[in-house]
Structure 1
Amino acid sequence: MTPGARTQAAIELLDEIVAAAASGGAAADTLIARYFATRRYAGSKDRRAVRELVYAAIRQAGPMPVSGRAAMLAVADRDPAVAATFDGAGHGPAPIAPDEPRAEGGVAPGWLVEALTASGLDAARQAALVDRAPLDLRVNSLATTREAVLEQWPEGAATPLAPLGIRLPNGTAVESSDLYRAGLVEVQDEGSQLVGAALNAKPGKWLVDLCAGAGGKTLQLAAAMANQGALLACDIDRARLQKLPPRAERAGASIIESRLLNPGHEAEMLADWAGKADGVLIDAPCSGTGTWRRNPEARWRLTPERLQRLRAMQEQVMAIGAGLVKPGGRMVYIVCSLLDAEGTNQVVAFLARHPGWVAEPIEPAIGTGHGPGRRLDPATHGTDGFFVACLRAPC
């Protein structure tokens, strides 16, 4: 592909990504994969170059752009090499006309910037939310040690905060590696590892991962429990939960029971665990503002109305989780969001509704203290953004 053809391909992809963001369609990564699946003529260098153009445009645009061309013109304004490809030659984009619309720059739509600022994030920490994320792994302690993995993966380095984390160069083909196939490592951001460890899982405990998804934190809990005890992984999303059993088998995590829940009937489907769990982990559905480095177009999908629906879901899952915890047991609430509406405010409201419950310190301490919990953010800690709080049930 010529440089112009690469720019035109990026514009076409950006049009699809903008439309999907507006309609709740597929994520950018999925759309890019589909695009090149039907264009076999594009080599690996072409695919990589187009992908870089697409994500440069997404990260640069705060509010959702009116079109893919508007997004790419904003990139061209800063990059003369990209601007030169707008010459109309071959398969390249048409020349730039006077006064064509450009995507508006910034971190996010205005209402979200206001919400982040009100949540205590200054401009520098907001800007870091759309930087490129590192590639982190968690070593499976059921099967090996971090030192042993680093001996076989010398290009990696120990993460600075998580004791089982390894950071690799971006672009490393992890899932095709022998170490991954053998279940020795899992892809997991360092921040996710830190908040997942806040439940302080021990062998022999009865634990519930209430919003398990595909099971990243479930596998982390199973390893910390040394495959001793009971571990229930639940979710209402069949497609995501179905990914857990093969992952557990690969990792040698034998104590996990998966349970698909019907929305609105979670409590009755978990009646056999009511008041019995030593600990419940709630990695609640949220806006994902802390993961924009990985999914920057998610900024365009979030609306005040969707945020309100997510907050209602968070309140519901906390109530369900509280019903599973035994007297004196613990519940850890996590959101990969930096909005106080989903983090500290939710915990404060939960404590007001549940007399006798208390927030207690997370040991060892992680991140920065924030209200009744702790917070991690990309600029300060080099991780994805998270809020986490540990809540103790009355005895």
Structure 2
Amino acid sequence: MTPAARTQAAIELLDQIILAARDGGASADVLIQRGFAARRYAGSKDRRAIRALVYDAIRLCGERPESGRAALLALAAGDPALASTFDDSPYGPPPMVVGEPVADTGIAPAWLIAALALSGIDTDQAAALLDRAPLDLRVNTLKADVAQVRAALPEALPIDGIGAALRLPPDTPVEKTQPYRDGWIEVQDAGSQIVTLAAGAQPGMRVVDLCAGGGGKTLALAAAMANRGDLLATDSDRPRLSRLLPRAERAGVSTVETRLLDPGREAEPLADWAGAADVVLIDAPCSGTGTWRRNPEARWRLTPARLAKLVETQARLLDVGAALVRPGGTLVHIVCSLLDAEGAGQVEAFLARHPCWAAAPLALPLGTPHGSGMRLTPLSHSTDGFFVAKLVRA
């Protein structure tokens, strides 16, 4: 493909991503994969170049652009080589026109920047949310130790203070490696590993992962429990939950049970666990402001109304989870968000509703105290952004 054809392909993909962000459609990664499937003539270098253009444009534009062309024009304003590809050549984009729409640049929509600032996230912290994310691994201690994995993957470097965490260069094809195929490792951000430690899971415990999704934290809990005890993983998303058991089999986990929940009626299928869990971990659905390094278009999806709905869902799930915890047991609230409405503020509201509960101090390898919990950020801790709190029933 010519450079101009790559630019036009990026514009077309951005058009799809912008519409999906507006209408709640597929993620950028999914749309890019579909786009490449429809462009089989694009070689590996073409695909890398197009993907880079798309994500550079997404990261550059704080507000959702009017079009893919407007986004690429904003990127071209600082890149003469890219600007030269608007040349009306075959398969390339038409020339630039004076006065045509050009996307605004910035970190995020103005209302979201204001909300982050009110939550203690300054401009430098917010800008770091758009840096490129590293590739982190969790060593599955049910099958291997860190030394074994490092011997098989010498390029994997330890992350200070996090015993089972390793970091690889970005774009390493980790799923093609023997340690991955053998279940020695899982791809999991170091921050996700750290907040899971807040559960304090131990062998023989009864543990519920209430919003398990594809099971990343479930498998980390199983390893902490040495594959002994009762581990229940639930979610309302059937496709995501269906991926957990094959992953568990590869990881050598035999103690996990899965249950599909009905949104808004989560308590009914969990009646047999009422007041019986030592730990309930809730990695709640959230705005994902802490994951913009991986999903930068997520900031185009979020609206104040969407945020309010997420906060309402989180509060309901906390109440559902609390009913499952035995006296003296633990409820862990996790969000990959840096907005206080979903983190510190959510915990304050829970404690006001449940006077027999209290926030417990956390001793984690990394993190900064924030409200009744702890916060991780890309700038301060080189992880995704998280808030975690540990709540204990009297």
SS in 1 for 2:356: coil
Establish whether residue 45 from structure 1 lines up as the match of residue 45 from structure 2.
Answer: yes
Amino acid in structure 1 at the alignment position of 2:59: R
In 1: Cα distance, 2:47 partner to 2:243 partner: 27
The structure-2 alpha-carbon separation of the partners of 1:79 and 1:161, relative to structure 1 and needing over 3 Å to count, comes to farther
Query: Displacement, 1:291?
Result: 0.2
Checking the alignment, whether the CA contact within 8 Å between 2:291 and 2:336 is kept in structure 1 is yes
- Corresponding residue for 1:103? 103
Give the 5 Å matches for 1:331-370. Answer: 331-364=331-364, 366-370=366-370
Deviation digits for residues 34-93 of structure 1 (CA, Å, limit 9, x no counterpart): 011111110000000000000000000000000000000111011111111111122211
Question: What are structure 2's unaligned runs of at least 5 residues?
Answer: none
Amino acid in structure 2 at the alignment position of 1:329: G
- Corresponding residue for 2:175? 175
In 2: Cα distance, 1:151 partner to 1:273 partner: 42
In 1: Cα distance, 2:136 partner to 2:202 partner: 24
Query: Displacement, 1:265?
Result: 2.4
- Corresponding residue for 1:157? 157
Deviation digits for residues 323-357 of structure 1 (CA, Å, limit 9, x no counterpart): 00000001110000000000000000000100121
Deviation digits for residues 245-271 of structure 1 (CA, Å, limit 9, x no counterpart): 000000001100111112232212111
Query: Displacement, 1:365?
Result: 5.5
In 2: Cα distance, 1:238 partner to 1:12 partner: 31
Checking the alignment, whether the CA contact within 8 Å between 1:366 and 1:374 is kept in structure 2 is no
Give the 5 Å matches for 1:71-220. Answer: 71-220=71-220
- Corresponding residue for 1:288? 288
In 1: Cα distance, 2:365 partner to 2:150 partner: 26
In 2: Cα distance, 1:291 partner to 1:210 partner: 20
Query: Displacement, 1:160?
Result: 2.6
In 1: Cα distance, 2:19 partner to 2:162 partner: 38
Give the 5 Å matches for 1:198-277. Answer: 198-277=198-277
Checking the alignment, whether the CA contact within 8 Å between 2:158 and 2:167 is kept in structure 1 is yes
SS in 2 for 1:130: coil
The structure-2 alpha-carbon separation of the partners of 1:169 and 1:229, relative to structure 1 and needing over 3 Å to count, comes to same
TM-score (norm: length of structure 1): 0.99
In 1: Cα distance, 2:176 partner to 2:8 partner: 31
Amino acid in structure 2 at the alignment position of 1:312: E
In 2: Cα distance, 1:163 partner to 1:352 partner: 36
- Corresponding residue for 1:303? 303
In 2: Cα distance, 1:274 partner to 1:348 partner: 23
SS in 1 for 2:75: helix
- Corresponding residue for 1:381? 381
Query: Displacement, 1:161?
Result: 3.9
Query: Displacement, 1:163?
Result: 1.5
Runs of at least 4 residues off by over 4 Å: none
Matched-pair identity in % = 62
Establish whether residue 63 from structure 1 lines up as the match of residue 71 from structure 2.
Answer: no
Amino acid in structure 2 at the alignment position of 1:378: P
Query: Displacement, 1:179?
Result: 1.1
SS in 1 for 2:267: helix
- Corresponding residue for 1:312? 312
Question: What are structure 1's unaligned runs of at least 5 residues?
Answer: none
Query: Displacement, 1:10?
Result: 0.4
- Corresponding residue for 2:54? 54
Amino acid in structure 1 at the alignment position of 2:37: A
